[in-house]
Structure 1
Amino acid sequence: MNICMVGHGMMGVWHSEGLKDVDCCLHTVVGRRPEPTAEFARTYGYRKWTVSFEEALRDPEVDIVIIAGPSETHAEMALAAIEHGKHTLVEIPIAMNLEQSERVVAAAKARGLTLGVVHPMRFRPERAPVIARIHAGEERVRHVHGRFFIYRLQNIGATGYQRSWTDNILWHHSTHLVDLGLWMIGGGDMLAAEAKIRSVNAFMPALDAHTGIPMEIVLVVETHDDQSLVVTGSYYGRERLYDTLVVSDRDSYRVDELKATLATGAGVQDIPTERENAWRCARDFVEAVRAGRDPQVPGWSVLPTMRVLHRAQEQWDAKHGRQLLPGRPVM
């Protein structure tokens, strides 16, 4: 399996680390600027580097494309990779709107190609027994609360890298948390969780004068079974928080992504770091392509999440007017 990595920011690093001991070849890395792209290729052992995505896609040796560039490029790049017959793993989000999300999924299905999306919260092994019990009807989720608070007045990523693009509070960070909530409520069955949704209500303020984007969000999903999913976040947060709380009729489970801990009624335990957990995503995708199976997060399975985000975006558009935003140039 020959891998083409698009982007060499934090996720490009993590995916490259995750694949270094896997039976595959780090074949080509695609970047924007020659010098850092060449340095990345040397550091992680890629055979080739290029600043031309088209050139990489034309290479018949490339089997898998991993898209880890700016969020607003994900859909366009995924569609191009699929058109060139490449199995494609897309960093979260699959796209910045529902229409393009559906286009990417449909394109992969039409070509018979494997499409995966990096939703690392579904990969945490400590959640597997809980999901199994929920799926079997032995445990029932009552409430899921995901929250993230980071200071993002300057566009610098988690590794300190100065980004060339602007983040989006709904279509990036909230995507992680909405997806996890639906996945837990459905016991791993995203379509079953979506069928239970009774209402979606979201608040995002008007555009910040400095960044040009909404900087905070409160999103509430209610189900017909009186379950609730709440997402709260702010790009004004001076204290960095990133955690999820699942409350069931059996226990409560709070994962702190930054401290790598799981707190339950029995106490607190250490779990794999966010970085270590992310390694599982690319490894699983390579194994899925080799085995001819669905990856752990197939493309079609993220569409219920994207439909919830679409409803939230429509509510903001109705209040503030539909408009192009930095970091979300597609409508």
Structure 2
Amino acid sequence: MKNICLIGHGMMGIWHAEALRGHPGVRLHSVVGRDLPQVQAFATEYGFAHAGINMIEAVNDPAVDAVIIAGPSESHAAMAMEVIKAGKAVLVEIPIGMTFAASEAVVHAAEAAGVMLAVSHPMRFRPERRAMLARIQAGEENVRHVHGRFFIHRLVNIGATGIRRNWIDNILWHHTTHLLDFGLWLAGKGDAAAGAARIRRVQSFMPGIDPHTGTPMEVAVLIETHDDQSILATGSYYARERIYDTLVVTSQESYRLDELTSTITTGAGSESAVSEHENAWAIARDFIDALNSGREPLVTGRSVLPVMRVLEQVQAEWDARHGARSIPGRPLDQLNLAAI
């Protein structure tokens, strides 16, 4: 039986709590947030034994075996380092960090400490893609093109729970991470590092800072591989229509999975897919099952470094045009928890 500490109780905190409530081999030990009455209410609703606002104290509790980090994106790397220092296994929500250096530092720290480090990359978990991936690995289909889109209206900082947040999303280091990692993972036949090793060129566009939000609001990244594959990620926080989908074109078929309608469409037509919500449950459950069985989690920290390196290249191009700086939701010092 593993005692779990959850940091953060927004949408992903809710989904992780739902996934583990009643799951074999796990006890919901503690939850940590910023507002104690809200944290206590969450603990009562989902069955956590303890609620608090001191993250350092919670992760160093000798009773805690593992920690799930579902706080603001900008705090993930610094929080993960604190958990690793405490010697606890950790599952970090996407992204693991918001610079390559911070992401790599977390991975190295976990490996040096012998601590399990899992990362939440839900597109790798989808059951609808297992058969397609098996065919790609067997050489029965070859990936030609992967296009991921994320469009949402986010001029006002309200998240998926409908509550105004005290932190800002970053379109490159959050939503584009999902899309590019998925493309590299498929291009590498289930190995993002293998996909990244075949990159021939990366082209990108991000506009300057929006005066209302203080952050870039649009992105387009195109990756070309030496195998003449293309991986394209596009998104905008200005869009009035909400779009979140991926299109995979292979030598044999096309597959478009709409995350919002839970529908997958191929040349044969459309059929239902598991919801984004249900798919997310698999992530925390895989983490616990890996911990209990002594195996690696499905998505390790090291396996996500290839996409973080590509994001760093895109960020460096933006920095060269607009000037490197801390912006809302992305402080340059990613490993200083006190500064976040």
TM-score after normalising by structure 2: 0.96
Q: Which amino acid aligns with 1:89?
A: L
Residue 330 of structure 1 deviates from its aligned partner by 2.0
Query: What CA distance in whole angstroms lies between the structure 2 residues aligned with 1:288 and 1:77?
Result: 21
| Partner SS state of residue 214, structure 1 | coil
Match of 1:96 in 2: 98
Which AA in structure 2 matches 1:34?
L
Deviations 1:257-315 (A, max 9, x none): 00000001111000110000000000000000111111010110000010110110011
Alpha carbons 2:325, 2:332 under 8 Å: kept = no
Partner of 1:184: 186
What are the equivalent positions in structure 2 for 1:141-180 lying under 5 Å apart? 141-180=143-182
Partner secondary structure for residue 87 of structure 2: coil
Q: Which residue of the partner structure matches residue 84 of structure 1?
A: 86
Q: Hey, what does 2:268 align to over in structure 1?
A: 266
Q: Distance in 1 between matches of 2:110 and 2:131?
A: 31
Q: How far off is 1:42 after superposition?
A: 0.2
Q: Please state how far the C-alpha of 1:47 moved relative to its aligned partner.
A: 0.3
- 1:67-107 Cα deviation digits (max 9, x unpaired): 00000100000000011010000000000100010010011
- What is the 5 A alignment of 1:59-74? 59-74=61-76
Aligned to 1:291: 293
> How far apart in 2 are the matches of 1:305 and 1:137?
24
SS at match of 2:232: strand
CA deviation digits over 1:106-143, x for unaligned, max 9? 11101111100000110000101111121222210000
Is the Cα contact below 8 Å between 1:142 and 1:228 reproduced in 2?
yes
- Amino acid of the residue matched to residue 93 of structure 1? P
1:112 corresponds in structure 2 to 114
The answer to whether residue 45 in structure 2 is matched with residue 18 in structure 1 is no
Q: Is the 8 A contact 1:72 1:330 kept in 2?
A: no
Asked if residue 4 in structure 1 is aligned to residue 13 in structure 2, the reply is no
Contact kept? 1:219, 1:231, Cα under 8 Å: yes
Q: In the aligned structure 2, how far is the partner of 1:59 from the partner of 1:15?
A: 20
SS at match of 1:18: helix
Once the two structures are superposed, the pairs formed by residues 205-220 of structure 1 within 5 Å of their partners are 205-220=207-222
Per-residue Cα deviation, 1:182-235 (whole angstroms, up to 9, x for no partner):
111111011110110001111000100100110001100000011000011000
Report % sequence identity. Answer: 59
Q: Which moved more, 1:84-93 or 1:53-62?
A: 53-62
Which position in structure 2 is the counterpart of 1:241? 243
Partner of 1:318: 320
Q: Which amino acid aligns with 1:76?
A: A
Which consecutive unaligned segments of at least 5 residues does structure 2 have? 334-340
Residues 20-35 of structure 1: matches in 2 within 5 Å?
Answer: 20-23=21-24, 24-35=26-37
Match of 1:48 in 2: 50
Q: Is the 8 A contact 1:134 1:186 kept in 2?
A: no
- Cα contact 1:66–1:89 (8 A) shared by 2: yes
Task: Tell me the distance in 1 between the aligned counterparts of 2:99 and 2:303.
Answer: 15
Contact 1:9 1:161 in 2 (8 A): no
Asked if 2 retains the 8 angstrom alpha-carbon contact of 1:41 and 1:48, the reply is yes
Cα distance between partner residues in 1 of 2:152 and 2:106: 30
Task: Please tell me the residue identity of whatever aligns with 2:242.
Answer: R
CA contact (8 A) 2:180 2:307 kept: yes
8 Å Cα contact 1:120/1:278 also seen in 2: yes
Cα deviation, residue 21, structure 1: 2.5
Find the aligned partners of 1:322 and 1:240 in 2 and give their Cα distance: 30
